[in-house]
Structure 1
Amino acid sequence: MVNINTLDPSASPLDYYGFELRRYREAAGLTQRQFGDVINYTGSMVGQVETARKLPTLDFSQRSDAALCTGGLLTRLHPLVMRSQLPAWFQQVAELEVRAVEICSFQTHMILGLLQTPAYARAVLGALDRSDLDDRTAVRLARQSILEKEETPVFWAVLSEAALYLEIGGRETMRGQLAHLLTFENTPRINIQVLPFSAGAHAGLTGSFDLYRFAGDPAILYTESFRSGHPSANPETVKECALRYDHLQAAALSLKDSAELIRSVMEDRYGDQVAQVQLQQ
């Protein structure tokens, strides 16, 4: 007989999701295996989700909702489940991302999480720790759903040119990552600027930071150190960093020139012609 764990739906969003999935499935008179056949997943996968041992994917949630006629419950729960799996110190930031009407980000050496491709995110997260890498990557990518909302936040990203050259995950991964940045070239609410090496000393030398602005609440500054995040609503601190961001945007290339630089680096450093030269050598 299959061992059925008893879940406390109040324990976590993942437990609540599993509890509701089982409740709907049993009401439909389906075994885990039968339900898995309906949504094209294994019965084992269904069982692991129901017992909070496996994270559901968005596809799993959507298929389950359709099969069980839940009115979209599981799909609505999915972002909450994924945010709950972020490191405890980062969960507050994920909430800020969801609530913000404007996000301004400056990154000194890599592409920020909201713009990462799956391969790039996997390479970053797996640099020293490859445990549960599939789930951790999925959790990070789930944050990007805020950029797909009907009313997305206005998003400004200033990236140091170094982020284009730091070869994270290999040439193919970097080419895909830079190509992904270019997909936002004609998206007015998502804007990417590159701070070139030629800018020299600049207002962001103290490190990366993010500014979150809200419809009815004070803006919040977020900085990060090893395994800890530091949100601050101190008006003077926020004001100072907002001024720094203005100067970074002024020193950065225009949106058009930034896209051209990204395209140039993608082709010249990570393009097929580079591989052909290396093979000839």
Structure 2
Amino acid sequence: MKKLKHIKQHIFRIAFAFAVLLFVLSCKSTKSVIDSGRASDKLSAKQVIKQHQKSDADFKTLQGKVKIDITQNQNEQGSTFNLRIEKDKVIWLSAKLGLARMMITPEKVRFYNKLDNEYFDGDYKLLSDFAGVDLDFYKVQNILLGQAIFDLKDQQYTVSVNENSYALQPKDQNALLELFYLINPSHFKMDSLQLFQQLKKRILQVDYKSYQEVEKQILPKDIRIIAVEDSDEVAITMEFKSLTLNEDVRFPFNIPAGYKEIVIK
């Protein structure tokens, strides 16, 4: 538990380390998506999964801004970051004046924080320990894009209608890790991702409050992430704005000399 709290303190200080874990209207190509569809009990799990997979946003690059607020133990901290993504390759975040910067790739997680003169350069264990589930680049990317974090072809699922969402769950739930997806009937992106570890008393829940259309692609607009262990809770809200797609982007990242490395044991 002390280890987990230590991890959360680092994540809280840099304010964006789980941008694991998109947006206020600001350009003509962006508009809010109105949920007008109605969930039908006639659709099978395979049909819902097929529509969800077709909903995956198709782009090469994405850039914009994301406002991130983190609340832990009644303390709240937040800021707005520049966001850049090269799909399946890089996710990059930078605070104002470059005071904090993060870059994750399929190989590693890297960030530095000029306020505390510290940096992290390692694997996904930091984010995985925070979330309570093994994460990798593609799972983090899928969370940001409103897609299922596990391959839905890996096992059989059942479907039911839950408050106008399609509720998908594995036909054979893992007793150690229960998984639920709520799928939106209008655009078939996720309404919610819920992971429960009863024995460890851990919960990870990602709720998609609203979506928007950006250049004919459906992307999250407001996301709320809640991670709970026993009575310890961290809540992250993400609001994405000023998004554009398929423009040339750069990913500058250099850890300043003399910074102290964050080591997670």
TM-score category, normalised to shorter length: under 0.3
Give the structure with the higher percent strand. Answer: 2
Query: Which is bigger in relative contact order (C-alpha 8 A, separation at least 6)?
Result: 2
Give the structure with the higher percent helix. Answer: 1
TM-score by length of 2: 0.24
TM-score by length of 1: 0.23
